[in-house]
Amino acid sequence: AEHQHARYNPLRDDWVLVSAHRVKRPWQGQLEKPPPEDVPRWDPNNPLCPGATRANGEVNPQYEGTFVFPNDFPALQPDAPKPGDSDHPLFRAAAAQGVCKVMCFHPWSDLTLPLMSLAEIRAVIDAWAELAAELGASYPWVQIFENKGAMMGCSNPHPHCQVWASSFLPNEACLEDRTQRQHLSQHGVPMLLEYAQQEAIRKERLVVENADWLVVVPYWATWPYQTLLLPRRHVCRLQDLRDSERDSLASIMQRLLIKYDNLFEISFPYSMGWHGAPTGPYLKEDCGHWQLHAHYYPPLLRSATVRKFMVGYEMLAQAQRDLTPEQAAERLRSLPEVHYKQKSK
């Protein structure tokens, strides 16, 4: 807690420098603008709202729950041509096909996940699992991710996420596949199943838990209030969750996200995403080394206006953090589980 040291991340096979004393240094750098509190519930000019017209001229239905549609500006397309052969090993290219979808969580623009009901969050989880199974029938990787807040590059305040399915395994998937496979081979137990069991015993990095899930600030966390959401039993993919586990997932997500919002009493920005065993052709292979999990990467460090920047040393050497994961977990753990906007209700 007082002296710098390095911690190993077995999931990414890299290291993070922990320098807890640096959090005391004065800040005269950039201050972020807090997220707006006056987002209109419905805006006819917002392309994600029910009944609104999107950029391609299509009109959204008057949806009342979740709503999934093809991304109007996809990063991946199913019919993209293959690049030509390279004439040198330093100038390689490869085929990249896929599909990109957008999923609205709710018809109201002013309602984020922590303010939704458990039934509404459960509907989001079911839609995630359905998309993972549908796209995973043919694509090797289905990446579900949410960028929340303008600070994380989100261009629209309406509660939504994206789902990109690709014909290839992305870098992070390849890395986690290798490290989890090696751990199972060497230790006889899936890495993140063993890790969840250890964190449940140690408790110093535990944020919230229930019968099926636990959320920790991982021992190797890079971002200040980064968390890892883990199931207690061995589960390879989101679509493999039992009905009861989906209910308890909705509950623990709500509890975590309320704590996030309560930390600085704002709609807390983050990027999050699910990682599970590859799909498509991998459905026929043994992927028992994989354990389903979700990463949450929030950028804020000291307040609603001071963020952590990944620059300089982080870009040129290795990741570095200014407070210990244990300190971050203790602060999150101690926060109330009633949303600050609902305290007076």
> Is 171 assigned to a binding site?
no
Question: Angle between the 191-202 and 171-187 helix axes, to the nearest 10 degrees?
Answer: 80
Q: Is 127 annotated as a binding residue?
A: no
Q: Is 55 annotated as a binding residue?
A: yes
Report the candidate in 233, 164, 162, 167 with the shortest Cα–Cα distance to residue 194. 233
User: Cα–Cα distance between 232 and 18 in angstroms, integer?
Assistant: 28
Q: Is 162 among the annotated ligand-binding positions?
A: yes
In whole angstroms, give the CA distance from residue 275 to residue 289: 13
Report the C-alpha gap between 15 and 320 in whole angstroms: 9
Q: Among residues 106, 158, 160, 183, which one is catalytic?
A: 160
* 242 in a known ligand binding site: no
| 308 labelled ligand-binding | yes
313 marked as part of a ligand binding site: yes
| Residue 327, marked binder | no
255 among annotated binding-site residues: no
303 is in an annotated binding site: no
List, in sequence order, every residue forming a beta bridge with 213; answer none if it has no partner.
231
**Is residue 160 flagged as an active site residue?**
yes
* Cβ within 8 Å of residue 286, ≥6 positions away: none
Q: Which helix (H) or strand (E) segment is 132 a member of?
A: helix 118-136
Check whether 275 is labelled as a binding-site residue.
yes
- Cβ(129)–Cβ(239) below 8 Å: yes
Q: Who contacts 106 (Cβ-Cβ below 8 Å, separation ≥6)?
A: 65, 66, 116, 120, 159
Confirm or deny that 21 is annotated as ligand binding: no
Q: Is 28 helix (H, G, I), strand (E, B) or coil?
A: coil
Q: Is 80 annotated as a binding residue?
A: no
In degrees, rounded to 5, the angle at the alpha carbon of residue 14 between the alpha carbons of residues 9 and 17 is 80
**How many distinct helices (H) and strands (E) make up the chain?**
6, 12
Binding residues: 22-25, 55, 71-72, 147, 153-155, 162, 176, 275, 293, 295, 308-309, 313-314, 320
Binding residues for Fe cation: 176, 275, 293, 295
Binding residues for UDP-alpha-D-glucose: 22-25, 55, 71-72, 147, 153-155, 162, 308-309, 313-314, 320
Which residues have a catalytic role annotated? 160
